A and B are shown apart, each in its own frame.
Chain A
Amino acid sequence: MSHGNMNLTLKIWRQKSDKEKGKLVTYPVQDISPDMSFLEMFDVLNEQLITKGEEPIAFDHDCREGICGMCSMFINGRPHGPKRGVTTCQLHMRSFKNGDTIVVEPWRAAAFPVIKDLTVDRSAFDRIISKGGFISVNTGNAQDANNIPIPKTDADAAFNAAACIGCGACVATCKNSSAMLFVSAKISQLALLPQGKVEATARVKNMVAQMDEEGFGNCTNTGACEIECPKGISLENIARMNREFYVANIKS
């Protein structure tokens, strides 16, 4: 089973459940190929643990092509690791050097409690969306799609905001565990489209209220989220959300 020539020391957060305390546990791994993805390196480690009769490490992952937003590792102090614009599943071992020590922790935020090891509960995001991250149009209500012309620039901007995969890297890296980038991406997408304007007032108020209730921190504009976002969601969205919020509150 020789894969490659990298030997690494992993320090991985192990935690049985949200009720128990966790700690970093050191695992050496050998013969890692630089062509492996970071998660495939975890597969190798887990295989080793199973052989030894130790419980494998629980971590979230699904599509392994950078779009589902499920993978969520805090690697050497950064969400999704050192490379810009990628999720953990797209991070490859060639981004590391033979002999490196790699610290892997779960996303940490009061609103993202740890379920087990590196797996956290991000259902707060779903609850925020359920308060207004939609357009209230029942199936069958729609008019012809080309009846509402939308300037390409607006459509493109809405698309860029909609590219958010809801992974939570923004929260994870923010020193305040703020979810402003996530929330603002959805608010921006819908604020930029004529279809979304109808409910704009209620949307921003309700979503921000839910965001606060979930226990996320406040935005202090450090910009870390924008840098770490694997989909390049811009800080402009936060400013747009702020504007929407002020206007909504002035209006009603």
Chain B
Amino acid sequence: MSKLDSKIPEGALEQKWEKYKSSVALVNPANKRSLEVLVVGSGLAGASAAATLAEMGYKVKCFCFQDSARRAHSIAAQGGINAAKNYQNDGDSTYRLFYDTIKGGDYRAREANVYRLASVSANIIDQCVASGVPLAREYGGMLSNRSFGGTQVQRTFYAAGQTGQQLLLGAYSGLQRQVGLGTVEMMSRHEMLDIVNIDGKCRGIIARDLISGKLERHFGHAVLLCTGGYGNVFYLSTNAMGSNVTAAWKAHKKGAFFGNPCFTQIHPTCIPVSGDHQSKLTLMSESLRNDGRIWVPKKQGDTRKANEIPEEERDYYLERRYPAFGNLVPRDVASRAAKERCDAGYGVGTSKMAVYLDFKSAIARYGHTKAVTQGIHNPTAEQLKDFGKQVVEEKYGNLFEMYEQITGENPYQLPMRIYPAVHYTMGGLWVDYNLMTTVPGLYALGEANFSDHGANRLGASALMQGLADGYFVIPYTIGAYLSKEISTKAISTDHEAFVKAEKDAQAIIDRLFAIKGTKSVDHFHKKLGKIMWDKCGMARNEKGLKEAIAEIRALRDEFWKDVRVLGSPNELNPELEKAGRVADFLELGELMCIDALNRSESCGGHFREESQTEEGEALRKDDEFAYVAAWENKGDNNYEIHKEELKFEVIKISQRSYK
């Protein structure tokens, strides 16, 4: 018998959640007051969960490592949030959103979870609007929608290019309201360093006050990890500098299985690396691919400037390879194609690791249209360009500005240079239908769990999942567990399990300071990132993955012998924080490679070079790999795989094609 029980309710797919909601055990208000819940992380999932649970009457503590809950990296999401509202009357439905998400995830997600996600999506929009989120509107006062990759309907709600910011601030304001009411204790500048298990259940955490450096013990009847993704294992990613895996990883080491760790989303349109000083990568919204054409020179190692290369010497490789979808192929396909061209020596820019995203034809096309609408029948070339520029500016002005700020180049005159970058991790802590990990009482929400996006996430779905988990799923599912905990009294933090966990956390800190090595934390982080990017990035093969595992092990040993952490543990010490996080990345990286090695198929963000069609397209192997790989940590960097079979009862699996 597998150790994995997904606890998917019985019944027809559409009725599972409804039935679950009406049959799940409840906790009465008086009992809620004595039940304590710890929420780690204050992004969309964390803030919405903490606020909602507090509204329901639970005693909540919420932790974040930033100086305020409002800074969580959900804030950086640009594009939008999907919801099956069908406000556009274009045939959208819960089922279609569900179907698109499963298909977009390349059939590696759980049907029941995704259907639930789709069915609560509409409530999210209602909740956000009610709490004052200024989503974009039409002149009639109704909400506006736009289209996004991987779908044929318009279901994406947005707030200019700052949807994540507005949604997060909405959730944050709800959280601050509870803080003001005294129902949530907000612990900012606190980092979780371990979970505490007592009698097989998660009963609390050890957190470090990042200002005083003191380790603190916090008890909770349940603990929610809403700590985001681990893309920073690659060093360079679109994640925030502080985004880390530590909370999830420590939980993993204490019994929570890690699901599909190798599923990483590489976003195709990011500003390329400009030098080895680079600390992070910046995304350019996917929407740019609606109007930009992607190309490289036809000649290898062409050193001419973009504008000096004549039309017939340009290779619009996406249009060439995928005539049906052209520049609008899904993220994973576009990313791999860019890498293929650059690896073959056709890359552009100083680093040669970039391709062009060109708006010249869009400017010309829009210029013509605008000239016609202005009644100018024989416009000059100059006029056409100006008109075209105006239209493009209206649509993408802020993105063009951002590009110019970072690169110093004007994208109206020169094509943008872009390259794929690590953006999101579909993998995460394995959770059941209740969002509970394999440790009873320990939950994972949002990007921190593995659940809804399979092997590839569609645009505008991350925000949806974070808020669905926090606002509408956990408030119900936590009752199933806490209703059995009403007689559990708060456990003293002097309990030996707390004492031991704190001692262990302290030991790691002491060990880091004791090394007194010669290299900075960043030195190791950059090296790890390079191994991961080269060998466990957009394309992987057996040989590379095996090398990567050996290299990571060696790097980890070197880290623990030669890292230099200065200052003291009893103060604000960003180097110490980084060291702890990188130490965990050095373990996670190995597991990611092990998982990637095991999955000898190509699917979604996971491209195994051994598994491709003759034309070089991804080849999925459904008979062998239609499962979730949930890894158990056996200590000393040993892992055991547990497989949760994915049963597709409603959707028929088929190979994706974009030709």
Contact A126 B141 (CB under 8 A): no
Is the CB of B290 closer than 8 A to any CB of chain A? no
Q: Which residue among B48, B72, B165 has the maximum number of chain A CB atoms within 10 Å of its CB?
A: B165
Query: Which residues of A75-123 are within 8 A (CB) of B?
Result: 86, 90, 92, 94, 115-116, 119, 121-123
Q: How many residues of A contact B (CB 8 A)?
A: 82
Interface stretch of the complex, out of A35-43, A171-179, A220-228, A238-246: A35-43
Inter-chain contact total with CB atoms closer than 8 Å: 225
Q: In the assembly, what is the distance between CA of A39 and CA of B277, in Å?
A: 10
- Whether, in the assembled complex, A61 has its beta carbon less than 8 Å from a beta carbon of chain B, the answer is yes
Among B51, B277, B282, B572, find the residue whose CB has the most chain A CB atoms closer than 10 A: B277
Chain A residues with Cβ below 8 Å from B127 are 137, 139-140, 142
Decide: A33 and B173 in contact? CB cutoff 8 A.
no
Q: Does B278 contact A (CB under 8 A)?
A: yes
In contact, B180 and A131 (Cβ under 8 angstroms):
yes
User: Is A139 within 8 A of B52, CB to CB?
Assistant: yes
- Give a binary string over B447-490; 1 marks a CB under 8 Å from any A CB, 0 the rest: 00000000000000000000000011001000000000000000
Least CB distance, A177 to chain B, in whole angstroms: 18
Q: Is A162 an interface residue (CB 8 A)?
A: yes
The yes or no answer to B11 lying at the interface (CB within 8 A) is no
Is A36's CB under 8 angstroms from B275's CB?
yes
Chain B residue with Cβ nearest A51? B520
Q: A36-B275, A64-B240, A65-B282 are in contact. Are A142 and B129 (CB under 8 A)?
A: yes
Q: Which residues of A from 152 to 179 have beta carbons under 8 Å from B?
A: 152, 155-156, 158-159, 162-163, 165-166
The interface size bin for chain B is 35 or more
**A33 contacts B132, C-beta separation under 8 Å:** no
Query: Does the CB pair B68–A115 fall under 8 Å?
Result: no
Complex Cα distance A146/B75, Å? Answer: 24
Inter-chain contacts of B275 with A (CB < 8 A)? 3-4, 33, 35-36
Q: How far is the CB of A142 from chain B (nearest CB, A)?
A: 4
Query: What CA separation (Å) do A37 and B275 show in the bound complex?
Result: 11
User: A142–B52 contact, CB under 8 A?
Assistant: no
A40-B277, A61-B241 known; A133 and B67 CB under 8 Å? no
- Chain B residues whose C-beta falls within 8 Å of the C-beta of A145 in the assembled complex: 85, 125-126, 128-130, 135, 143
What is the CA–CA distance of A61 and B240 in the complex, to the nearest angstrom?
Answer: 9
**Closest chain B CB from A231 CB (angstroms):** 9
* B522 CB contacts on chain A under 8 angstroms: 43, 47
Residues of B within 8 A of A (CB): 48, 51-52, 55, 66-73, 75-76, 85, 87, 123, 125-143, 159-160, 162, 164-166, 169, 172-174, 176-177, 179-180, 186, 188, 211, 238, 240-242, 274-280, 282-283, 402, 405-408, 471-472, 475, 520, 522, 564, 566-567, 571-575
Residues in A lying within 8 Å of B, measured CB to CB:
1, 3-4, 16-17, 33-37, 39-40, 43-44, 46-47, 50-51, 53-56, 58, 60-70, 86, 90, 92, 94, 115-116, 119, 121-123, 125-126, 129-146, 148-152, 155-156, 158-159, 162-163, 165-166, 189-190, 193, 195-196
